[in-house]
Structure 1
Amino acid sequence: MMPTPTNLVVVMADQFRAMAIGAVGGDPVSTPNLDRLIASGCHVPNAVSNYPVCSPHRAMFLTSRTPRENGVTLNVNSERALEGIGLRDGLATWASVLRDEGYRTGYIGKWHLEPPVDEDEEYGEGRRDDGVVWDAWSPPHRRFGFDFWHSYGAADRHLSPHYWVGDAQRHERLDVDRWSAEYETDVAIGFISEAAEQDAPFALMVSLNPPHQPFDQVPERYRPAYADLDEAQLLTRPNVELGTPFAADMAAIARDYFAAVTGVDEQIGRIVDALADAGVERDTVVVFTSDHGMQLGSHGLIDKNVPYEESMRVPFVLHGPGLIPAGESNELVSALDMAPTLLGLTGHADAIPVAMSGVDRSAALTARAAVSDDPAAVYYRFASRQNPSEVRGLRTRRAKFIAIWVPGAGLEIEYYDLQHDPYEQRSAPADPDVPAMANRLMRRLESEGDDWSGAGELRARFAV
């Protein structure tokens, strides 16, 4: 049984893809601290983002509610705020549950769930070149269970970040002349040191923006390890077409991206060391994860918000001496599963709200139960002004089914056998398993009340 109460530290690095850990294999990265956590903790290679873009994933991660339920169907910004897109008031999160259980809760870093209002243009990051405001101050009553607050909305200024601290008002932001990941780790270490002296458990989330773009905003000290690597050494996945101008551009990005990955890894090591220094390492579960990955040239793409593994798979590493058995777990954990799983890992499975739609995977991850027989994660992408297509899909351990509804063109189907085609280079929409996957996806969407635009044609095509 998990000891109760158990402290929790969650580190989420934005756009940190699953294969960007040295011990995992894949990208040519140096991550000695994450390698150490994997060696002594639990690594979950089948952790996936149901919606691999920032705001939708974070909303599911916190609430275990689908995008239609939690209100975050697209990335949150001022344009979409006018459409009502933003995390809905009153939703339970794993943080609010733990706070009710007597935990001291804290949030540090990027939030990106608050709809910007007019004043945020003046007091936040400002209006970007796309004409939209992304950064926003979060009022104290909309912090969803987090009491300690050292955060901002969505501002991509890694070398000159700003924060709203505690009860600071919108016009009272704190500007810092440091690399954001390093500064936020300093704040986290201070929180841990103080919380360890209190007669109460604690739960802290540290949300680092790097290695998200702007990729060149990374301290110089991390760059030398990658400066001399050529295109083939940097872009090692076979679904990247080398020798093209696009690949050359991706290689230049990869040098900075991997440098930031190494910098993030250093901060993770500092946090774990701080837990040991405070004498609470054996009472604390540390979780490292991300909101999504990035393509970095795979399939001819740069960023995310696509169903390919480079974007959809996220790192999920658990560490806790005496709490987390060492080894790799074949359990599939999706964004929707993460809130109930965190509650299970801290010993509060009995407090999981009924409204949370994900599954508590903690028993399998701590070797107290067998892994699930055949779990599946739904993939979501909602239509936007920039991209009218609307996508749903299903990922299991061995396969991925993707249905793309394109207005005026109809339904497109992709299917990948992940066991025999792990780099998704051969879509097989006529595979004999496709009808069963389509049927399974439709049952899931119906159970969620998802009125996806392509449902009618999918049902007609596969007679489901």
Structure 2
Amino acid sequence: MDSQQKPNLLYIFADQWRRQAVGFEGEDPVLTPNIDAFAREAAIVTNALTCSPLCSPHRASLLTGKYPISTGVYTNCKVGADVMLSPEEICISDVLARSGYRTGYIGKWHLDLPERNMTDDPLSGAADWDAYTPPGPKRHGFDYWYSYGAWDEHLSPHYWKDSPEKINVQQWSAEHETDQAIQFIQNRNGEQPFALFVSWNPPHSPFDQVPEKYKKMYDRNQIVLRENISSSSLSVHTGESIGGGIEELKDKQLNYFAAVSGIDDQFGRLLQVLKEEGLDSNTIVVLTSDHGEMMGSHGLMAKHVWYEESIGVPFCIRWPNVIPEMRTDLLLNTVDIMPTLLRLLDLEIPMSVEGTDLSGFLLNREKGGPEEAFISAYPGRKEVIEAFQEAGIDNREYGWRAVRTHDYTYVLHHGYAPGDKLVRYLYDLRTDPYQRQPERIEHISDHLLARELEIKLQHWLKEMKDPMITKLEVM
């Protein structure tokens, strides 16, 4: 296969965009006409899941095909946590670059150590969790770079290219990044295939930072809340209250939906340029996200919890005349994306990969596939890590782990503080899709289904050498 015949890859992922918030799913009342039209020409994976519903862990797993406990990126790359994607990891971009692809990364990276962890006065001007990632091994083969670490100013974003000079922009970030992506495609070398990753930050909070034209698409009085909105007082997964109530939640939802409509608009622009450039038939296009957003379900905001609104992501992949148009209930976990894409591109999958190549199920409409997905979350806040260190405990023994099958979610939750007790929850997704009636498992030996799922989950913990296994009676 010569370079002119190799398919291009356009991989687009938004931050904190849940599976329910897209028109073709018929759940949240969100307007996404471009995405809906694309989905009719694509394979829709209705059981796409994140292996860890948090930004940095997902991104590291996406690029490496490895689980967070293996990459070491088990929590966000942030001030106070010595966590980053190692330059030694083999990423999909490394493989693509070595295989002759022109590679590009645009938007949020969030895989480098924040510069404030090393100096109070970075030359780049990076603040808080942000970082300038210079050319070299930490970019993992991406030769075009227009990116930043972590910074949530959607209407006044900034970026770095190949020097510490910060590029300040007065434009909605998703629109600006789409402008850059269009230039990348239009200015490509026609003799060389390209692989471009575009990482939009919206609809990630702050939710109100979205252009007014998208807000005007919605009527606040017609916002219908999900059936599992259970509290007028909102909190995050670790229990801290963030205040607010139902009326404030409606405002947040309107803005969240507006941002999704905004990225739909930008997605339509990217599809149009592929068509205009004659590239749509030979470009694999993936549209997805890194994790979801609770948006008030179960009284929670944000992510990092095991509910469907947090772990479920939209996932559509189009390759005209190669991947059939379909809806499939294939269980696709984050770690499966890298090997699946590499096989579709007819490239070698590194031995380091822990995920599964699912390309055959997409190409041939095959049934089956993985029986469960392993999902993990670990305590990562600075003060929490310090509390564990003072107690002489590995914080990674705590948090929660889960297996998600087609029908059930089974959770081991060890809490977020030394001394928290381990509890088990079982959710039947067939009879309780909104997960309002969890079964708390007190005695595994008396519950055949829980015992079966416990065995599956413990198998994953042993395979991953996850420290939580030391807290369990091994089965």
TM-score, scaled relative to structure 1: 0.91
Question: What secondary structure sits across from 1:414 in the alignment?
Answer: strand
> Are 2:31 and 1:46 aligned?
no
Q: Letter of the aligned partner of 1:186 in structure 2?
A: D
Q: Letter of the aligned partner of 1:151 in structure 2?
A: S
Q: Does the C-alpha gap of structure 1 residues 189 and 255 become closer, same or farther in structure 2, counting only changes over 3 Å?
A: same
Residue 285 of structure 1 aligns with which residue?
284
Structure 1 Cα separation of the partners of residues 471 and 71 of structure 2: 27
Q: Letter of the aligned partner of 1:405 in structure 2?
A: H
Q: Letter of the aligned partner of 2:435 in structure 1?
A: E
Q: Letter of the aligned partner of 1:99 in structure 2?
A: A
Question: What secondary structure sits across from 1:300 in the alignment?
Answer: coil
Bigger shift: 360-369 or 299-308?
360-369
Alpha-carbon distance, 1:320 to partner: 2.4
Q: Letter of the aligned partner of 1:377 in structure 2?
A: A
Structure 2 Cα separation of the partners of residues 449 and 247 of structure 1: 42
Instruction: Give me the CA root mean square deviation.
Output: 1.9
Q: Letter of the aligned partner of 2:150 in structure 1?
A: A
Of the three residues 159, 168, 177, the one matched with 1:163 is 159
Structure 1 Cα separation of the partners of residues 120 and 109 of structure 2: 14
Structure 1 Cα separation of the partners of residues 208 and 120 of structure 2: 26
Q: Does the C-alpha gap of structure 1 residues 367 and 4 become closer, same or farther in structure 2, counting only changes over 3 Å?
A: farther
> Are 2:73 and 1:72 aligned?
yes
TM-score, scaled relative to structure 2: 0.89
Of the three residues 185, 189, 200, the one matched with 1:208 is 200
Alpha-carbon distance, 1:94 to partner: 1.0
Of the three residues 143, 165, 176, the one matched with 2:169 is 176
Alpha-carbon distance, 1:120 to partner: 7.5
Structure 1 Cα separation of the partners of residues 12 and 91 of structure 2: 16
Structure 1 Cα separation of the partners of residues 13 and 383 of structure 2: 27
Alpha-carbon distance, 1:416 to partner: 0.5
Residue 311 of structure 1 aligns with which residue?
310
Q: Does the C-alpha gap of structure 1 residues 136 and 269 become closer, same or farther in structure 2, counting only changes over 3 Å?
A: same
Question: What secondary structure sits across from 2:80 in the alignment?
Answer: helix
Structure 1 Cα separation of the partners of residues 16 and 94 of structure 2: 26
Structure 1 Cα separation of the partners of residues 344 and 5 of structure 2: 10
Structure 2 Cα separation of the partners of residues 123 and 212 of structure 1: 27
Deviation digits for residues 389-433 of structure 1 (CA, Å, limit 9, x no counterpart): 421111111111100113323211111011111111111234531
Residue 448 of structure 1 aligns with which residue?
464
Structure 2 Cα separation of the partners of residues 280 and 361 of structure 1: 24
> Are 2:99 and 1:101 aligned?
yes
Q: Does the C-alpha gap of structure 1 residues 33 and 432 become closer, same or farther in structure 2, counting only changes over 3 Å?
A: same
Alpha-carbon distance, 1:368 to partner: 5.5
Structure 2 Cα separation of the partners of residues 87 and 414 of structure 1: 32
- Seq. identity, %: 40
Alpha-carbon distance, 1:125 to partner: 6.7
Deviation digits for residues 180-231 of structure 1 (CA, Å, limit 9, x no counterpart): 1001001101111122x4211110000000111111110011011213434x
Question: What secondary structure sits across from 1:33 in the alignment?
Answer: helix
Q: Does the C-alpha gap of structure 1 residues 51 and 243 become closer, same or farther in structure 2, counting only changes over 3 Å?
A: closer
Structure 2 Cα separation of the partners of residues 5 and 368 of structure 1: 23
Of the three residues 401, 408, 432, the one matched with 1:392 is 401
Residue 239 of structure 2 aligns with which residue?
none
Question: What secondary structure sits across from 2:265 in the alignment?
Answer: helix
Q: Does the C-alpha gap of structure 1 residues 321 and 418 become closer, same or farther in structure 2, counting only changes over 3 Å?
A: same
Q: Letter of the aligned partner of 2:448 in structure 1?
A: P
> Are 2:227 and 1:238 aligned?
yes
Alpha-carbon distance, 1:247 to partner: 2.0
Structure 1 Cα separation of the partners of residues 457 and 69 of structure 2: 16
Structure 2 Cα separation of the partners of residues 62 and 126 of structure 1: 24
Structure 1 Cα separation of the partners of residues 429 and 472 of structure 2: 22
Residue 360 of structure 2 aligns with which residue?
363
> Are 2:221 and 1:229 aligned?
yes
> Are 2:134 and 1:139 aligned?
yes
Structure 2 Cα separation of the partners of residues 120 and 109 of structure 1: 24
Structure 1 Cα separation of the partners of residues 265 and 283 of structure 2: 19
Asked if structure 2 preserves the Cα contact closer than 8 Å seen for 1:44 and 1:329, the reply is yes
Q: Does the C-alpha gap of structure 1 residues 286 and 121 become closer, same or farther in structure 2, counting only changes over 3 Å?
A: farther
> Are 2:249 and 1:250 aligned?
yes
Alpha-carbon distance, 1:121 to partner: 5.5
Residue 130 of structure 1 aligns with which residue?
none
Q: Letter of the aligned partner of 1:76 in structure 2?
A: C
Q: Does the C-alpha gap of structure 1 residues 298 and 228 become closer, same or farther in structure 2, counting only changes over 3 Å?
A: closer
Structure 2 Cα separation of the partners of residues 110 and 68 of structure 1: 22
Asked if structure 1 preserves the Cα contact closer than 8 Å seen for 2:286 and 2:318, the reply is yes
Of the three residues 451, 459, 463, the one matched with 1:435 is 451
Alpha-carbon distance, 1:347 to partner: 2.6
Question: What secondary structure sits across from 1:443 in the alignment?
Answer: helix
Q: Letter of the aligned partner of 1:138 in structure 2?
A: T
Q: Which runs of 5+ in 1 are unaligned?
A: 128-132
Structure 2 Cα separation of the partners of residues 383 and 213 of structure 1: 21
